[in-house]
Amino acid sequence: MKKNFKIFAAAVILLCLAGCFSTKTHSVLDKSFTGEQLNHYSGPKAKITVNDFELKTSGIYPQVGLALKEYFISILNDTKRFIMDTPQEADLIISVEVIEFIPESSGGKSGLAGGGSSASSFMGGLLGEALNKANMQLRLRIIDRATSSIIGSRDIQSQAVENPGKKTTTPHDKIFKTGLSEYAGTPMGKVIYDCLVEAGRYVAQNVPLSYYKN
């Protein structure tokens, strides 16, 4: 009876863990994550400014926040839709809060939550080596500078799990040679890329046409 219970418990845990192992990074071109791709653009541009990222979570240093901002601005510039202006001259202010920034959240022989109970030890034995899982969540707002009204807002979140034996890559790895170099080739690097590119896509798709001027 006890043996059968252990077998049943192991099966249940494996089914639950299947969700963990199937977690994967989302490409910014994956429509299930980002919606439609941006079309090539050539025309009037909107005058915007990007505030310094507000760091609402622990575990992220100010210099990383500045590097994230620079990366985000480069993504917005790539859309060919915006002119970066001063806060006093821009028509729109882009505000970004970093709600969650977890470069590594591992589980393994100490249990998924790092505990030392018999249950966690049993699960750790099934898991073997720890997994490197990264998370990031942004809160984005598009604000009319003159009226302070919010034109659009959205929370953007991504998660990535390390694939053992395989380096994580992103299309913009060269960006990570500067202020974000420690995240190059890691799940966190992929998560940063996904979140910021999706944020840029959201801004490009949600700025009203009335803000675009010759």
> CA 110 to CA 112: how far, in whole Å?
7
Residue 38 has pLDDT above 80, yes or no: no
Q: Which residue has the higher pLDDT, 130 or 64?
A: 64
pLDDT band at 174 (very low <50, low <70, confident <90, very high): low
pLDDT of residue 199: 96
- Region 146-163: mean pLDDT is 93
The residue written with tokens 């393994």 in the block is: 108
Q: In sequence order, which residues have a C-beta less than 8 Å from that of residue 74 and are 6 or more positions away? A: 175
> CA 79 to CA 100: how far, in whole Å?
26
User: pLDDT > 90: what percent of the chain?
Assistant: 48
> CA 107 to CA 133: how far, in whole Å?
9
Chain segment 187-206, per-residue pLDDT in tens: 898 899 999 999 999 999 99
Chain segment 82-97, per-residue pLDDT in tens: 999 999 999 999 999 9
Q: What is the mean pLDDT of the chain?
A: 76
Rounded to two decimals, what is the model's pTM?
0.71
DSSP string, 85-145: --TTT-SEEEEEEEEEEES----STT-TTS--SHHHHHHHHHH-SPP-EEEEEEEEEEEET
Q: What is residue 164's DSSP assignment?
A: T
Rounded to whole angstroms, the maximal C-alpha distance in the chain is: 78
**Mean pLDDT: which of 40-44, 75-79, 96-100, 170-174 is highest?**
96-100
List domains and CATH numbers for the chain.
29-105+131-213 (3.40.50)
Chain segment 41-58, per-residue pLDDT in tens: 889 999 999 999 999 998
pLDDT of residue 125: 44
